[in-house]
Structure 1
C-alpha cells in the first residue's frame, strides 16, 4: 500500500468533497446513496490505497468505490 497514494486520494476527497457528492448523486440517482458511498470511500482509503502510479485520483474516487454500491443498488431495485 502506498502512503503517498493514500494521502493524494485523501487530499482530493477533502478538496473535492462537494463535487464528489454532486457527481455521485447524479450517477447513483440518490443523494442518500451518494452519502453512503462517500462514507464508504473514506473508510476504504484507510484500508487500501492503490499501489503503483495513480494517474487520475478524481476518477479513482468516482469509479472504484461506488461500484459495489451500484451493483447492490441494482440488485435491490430488481426486487
Structure 2
C-alpha cells in the first residue's frame, strides 16, 4: 500500500510521550501513531462501542433506579450523599 506523509503539530509533552511509548513497544513513532489510528477506527473500537451500548441497555433500569432521571442518586434525597 502506498504511504502518504502527514505532518502534525503537538506539544512537547505529547511528542515525548509518543516517542517513549513507541520505544517501549520497539517500533517507530510513525508506526506507533499508525497503529493508534487503526485501533481507534478499526474493529476493536467498534466492538468496544457495541459492547458498551449493550451493557447500558441491559442495565438501564439499574442506573435509573440508582441515579434517577435528574442524575441525583437515591441517597442524595435522604441526605446520605456519597463521599
Q: Which TM-score applies when normalising by structure 2?
A: 0.29
Higher helix share: 1
Q: Find the structure with the greater CA-based Rg.
A: 2
Question: What TM-score do you get using the length of structure 1 for normalisation?
Answer: 0.30
